A and B are shown apart, each in its own frame.
Chain A
Amino acid sequence: MQKLVLLGDEAIAQGAIDAGLTAIYAYPGTPSTEITEYAIRSKEARNGQITAQWTANEKTALEAAIGVSYAGKRAMACMKHVGLNVAADPFMNSAITGVNGGLVIVSADDPSMHSSQNEQDSRFFGKFAQMPVLEPVNQQEAYDMMAYAFDLSERLNIPVLMRITTRLAHSRAGVQCVSEKRQQNSFGLPKDSRQFVLLPSIARRNYKMLLNNWPLIEQESEISGFNEYIDGTDKSLGIIATGIAFNYLMENFENRVIPFPVVRISQYPEPTEMIRKLYDSVDKILILEEGYPMIEDRLKGTLNTGKTIHGRLDGTISRDGELNPTIIAKALNKHIPETLPPSDVVVSRPPALCAGCPHIDSYNALNEALAEAGQGHVLADIGCYTLGALEPFMAVNSCVDMGASITMAKGAADAGLHPAVAVIGDSTFTHSGMTGLLDAIIHQTPITVVILDNGTTGMTGGQPSEATGRLEDICLGLGVEKDHIHVLNPIKKYHDENVAIIKKEFDYQGVSVIIPRRECIVTLNARLRHIKAQKAKS
C-alpha cells in the first residue's frame, strides 16, 4: 500500500484509475482541471492502457464517456460546475438510459467564485436527474469513493455524480492507495440492445425503471457508510454537516469530540432516517453546507412550522460564499480570540494579463479602431482575455458564458448595434463559438468576430487548443468569405496596420473574422525552457 500526497482532484483521478477506469474525458475548468491533467500524465495513459483526453467541450466529453459505458467499460467525464450546464442534456438523459459500464461524472463547484461566473451548487443537478451524488469530506474519501461510485453505478444501473468544491479540489493531503488495481471491464455491448434508444416508448419504460430504483438509491445513502450518525450527549443542538463543512466543524472542538449529535453527509439523496433521528432527538438544528442551503431548504419546507433550523437561510451563516472554520465558530457562538488588525497599507492586487501577452497588443489595436465608435461595442467571452475588462484596457462589455460573445454580438447587431464586435479565445471558439458563428453567417449579420489565437487554453494553465492550426479552415468551411478573414500579428510594430484592417471590416455588411495570432508567453517560455533542458541533457 502506497501513500501519496495528492490534491483532491488528483485523488479522484488515481482512485478512478485504481478502480478499473478505461477512459476519462474533460474540458478544462477551474477547479476541476487537475483531475484530467493527472490522468493524462499517469503511466496508464502514457502506456495506452487508458484513454485520457481533452475534448471540445463538456457536452462532447460526457457523450464520449456515455459511449464508453455503452461498450461496457468504466468511464468518467470531469468539468467545472458551469460545464455541467453545457453537458446538461446528456447528463439528464444518461439517468434515463442508465449505464452498461460504470459512469461517473465529476463536477467541481467554486463557492466564493474564485475563478468562476457563479457559485451554482451541482448537488441540485443530481436531484434533478435523480442520480446518486457523492460529496467527499477529504482527499482520502475522494479516492475511496471512486471504486464505490463505479460499483454503485453498475449495480444500480445509473450514472453517479461526484460533487467537489474548490477547497478540496486544490488541497493536498496524504492518500493511502489500494495495493491491487481492479482490472478493467471486458468489452461488451448492453444486454438490452434498446437500452440507449430514448424513443418515447423506450424512454417511458426506462424512466419507470429509474423511479422504481429510487428506493434502492435512497437506501444506499443509509448503509454505504459515507453518511454517519455520530451521537452526542448534549441534545440542545443537532448538527447536519455536508461534505467538507464537517472538517470545519471538527476544527472547532478540542480533541475532536463534538458534544452534540451530528449527521455527517457525503452521499445523496440525503439519509432520511438519520436526519429524522436527529430531528426527533434535539431541540434545534444547525445546518452547515458548503454551497447553497439545499438540505436546509428541504428540511424547513415551505411553511417552516417545525423546530428551529439555523443555517444560511436565517442569516446564522452568510447566504453566499465559501465556509471556513471561523465562520462555523461564529455559527456555534464560540469565542473568537482577538486577532491583529488587518494592515491598511495593503491594497488589492487583481489578476492581470502577463507582461508580453499577445492579448495586450490585440486590445490596444481594437481600442484604437473603436475610438470613434466609443464604448459599448465589444461582446467578449471567457478566458485570459476577459481581463481586458479591467484597467488599463476597459475594452470589453460582456462575459456571460462560453461562446456568448458571438451570439450576443449577433443579437446586439440585430437590435441595431454597429459596429458589433465579438472577442473570443481560440479554445472558447471551438468549445462553443462555431455554432453561433454559423447562425451569423446564415443570416449575413454584420458582426466583426475577433478570435484571439494564442495557440492554447491559457486561463486554465495551457492545455492544447483544438483550434490550433485549423481556425481559418473552420471559418471558411462554415461560410465566412475568404476576403473577410484576416490573420494579424499582434505586436507593436504592426499596430497601425492592424488598426486599419479592423476598422475596414467594421464597414462590411456581413461576418468578418479577424485572427490576431501570437503564442501565449507562458506556454512559449515553458516550451523554450523544455528545449533548453533537452539540449543540456544531450
Chain B
Amino acid sequence: MKTDIILGGVGGQGILSISAIIGTAAVEKGLYVKQAEVHGMSQRGGDVMSNLRLSSEIIYSDLIPKGQVDIIIGVEPMEALRHKAMLNPEGWLVTNSTPFINITNYPELEDVYAEVRKIKNHILIDADAIAKQVGSVRASNVVMLGAAAPFLNIPEDAFFTAIQRIFGSKGEDVVQLNIDAFKAGFAEAQKVIESK
C-alpha cells in the first residue's frame, strides 16, 4: 500500500496541522511516513505545500516524483491547482472552493472552478461554509481532511485518535469541533462520490 499526497494552501491556513493529523494517524496504523513541509519565508502569506507519503514499505524520497501524486488536498482552490502537474491522471484533487485572496491579480473564480472541473476525479466543496455550520470557520482545514479521508486508506478511528492527540492540549471543545469538522467533510465527499 502506498499513498502519495500533496497538500496545498496559503501560509497560515493550517496545512501543517492536517498534515500532522494524517501523519500521526498513519503511524498509528503502522505505516511508514515521510512528510516534507514548508517552513520559513513563504509562511508569510505565500503559497505553501506539503509532500506527504504513506507506505507499508520503506520510503526513500521525501519528495514525490512528478505525476505520481494520488491525492491533492487543497485548502484553497488555486493552490490546489498549483500542483496539478504532479497529479497522477487517475488521482483525486480534493479542494475547498473558498478562495484566499491576498494578491491583486487573483484569477476569476469561475475560471479556477472550471480548471478544477477539468480534472477527471475531483471534489470541490465549500469547506469554509461547512466549518461555519459545525462551529468555526477555523476548522475548514479539517473539513478538507475529512473530505479527502475516503481516499487515504486509513480507518476513521485512527484520525480521531490523531485529532485527540494533536488538539488535546487545547481543550475538549477544540477536539470535538475538529472531529465534527472531519465528519462533515467526510459526509460531503461521500455525496460527491455516490453521485458519480
A137 to chain B: closest residue by CB: B60
A111 an interface residue at 8 Å Cβ cutoff?
no
Interface size on A, residues (CB 8 A): 55
Cβ of B185: which chain A residues have Cβ within 8 Å of it?
none
Cβ of A349: which chain B residues have Cβ within 8 Å of it?
10, 45-47, 78-79, 102-103
> By the criterion CB–CB under 8 Å, are B103 and A251 in contact?
no
Q: 8 Å CB contacts to B: which residues of A479-535?
A: 533
How many inter-chain residue pairs (CB < 8 Å) link A and B?
159
User: How far apart are B14's CB and chain A's nearest CB, in angstroms?
Assistant: 14
B86 an interface residue at 8 Å Cβ cutoff?
yes
A34 an interface residue at 8 Å Cβ cutoff?
yes
Q: 8 Å CB contacts to B: which residues of A247-262?
A: 247-248, 250-252, 256
Comparing A58-66, A350-358, A364-372, the segment that makes contact with chain B is A350-358
> By the criterion CB–CB under 8 Å, are A536 and B171 in contact?
yes
Comparing B34-42, B127-135, B176-184, the segment that makes contact with chain A is B34-42
> By the criterion CB–CB under 8 Å, are B61 and A251 in contact?
yes
A251 to chain B: closest residue by CB: B61
A387 an interface residue at 8 Å Cβ cutoff?
yes
A310 an interface residue at 8 Å Cβ cutoff?
no
For B164-187 the 0/1 string (1 means CB < 8 A from A) is 000000110000000000000000
A324 an interface residue at 8 Å Cβ cutoff?
yes
User: How far apart are B161's CB and chain A's nearest CB, in angstroms?
Assistant: 14
A30 to chain B: closest residue by CB: B40
Q: 8 Å CB contacts to B: which residues of A434-478?
A: 459-461
> By the criterion CB–CB under 8 Å, are A352 and B102 in contact?
yes
> By the criterion CB–CB under 8 Å, are A345 and B61 in contact?
no
> By the criterion CB–CB under 8 Å, are B36 and A170 in contact?
yes
Secondary structure type dominating chain A contacts = loop
A433 an interface residue at 8 Å Cβ cutoff?
no
> By the criterion CB–CB under 8 Å, are B46 and A352 in contact?
yes
Cβ of B34: which chain A residues have Cβ within 8 Å of it?
171-173
Question: Which of A171, A324, A345, A353 meets B78, CB within 8 Å?
Answer: A345
Q: 8 Å CB contacts to A: which residues of B44-102?
A: 44-47, 51, 58-67, 78-79, 81-82, 84-87, 89, 102
> By the criterion CB–CB under 8 Å, are B105 and A171 in contact?
no
A168 an interface residue at 8 Å Cβ cutoff?
yes
A181 an interface residue at 8 Å Cβ cutoff?
no
A460 to B40 CA separation, bound complex (whole angstroms):
6
17 pairs, CB–CB < 8 Å, chain A vs chain B: A114-B42, A171-B51, A173-B32, A173-B62, A246-B60, A251-B61, A251-B65, A256-B58, A324-B63, A336-B66, A338-B67, A339-B86, A339-B89, A341-B84, A343-B84, A351-B42, A459-B41
Q: Which residues of B contact A (CB under 8 A)?
A: 10-11, 23-24, 27, 32-47, 51, 58-67, 78-79, 81-82, 84-87, 89, 102-103, 105-108, 111-112, 115, 119, 170-171
Known: A340-B67, A349-B103, A353-B44. 9 other contacts (CB 8 A): A31-B39, A114-B42, A248-B61, A336-B66, A343-B84, A345-B81, A349-B79, A461-B43, A533-B170
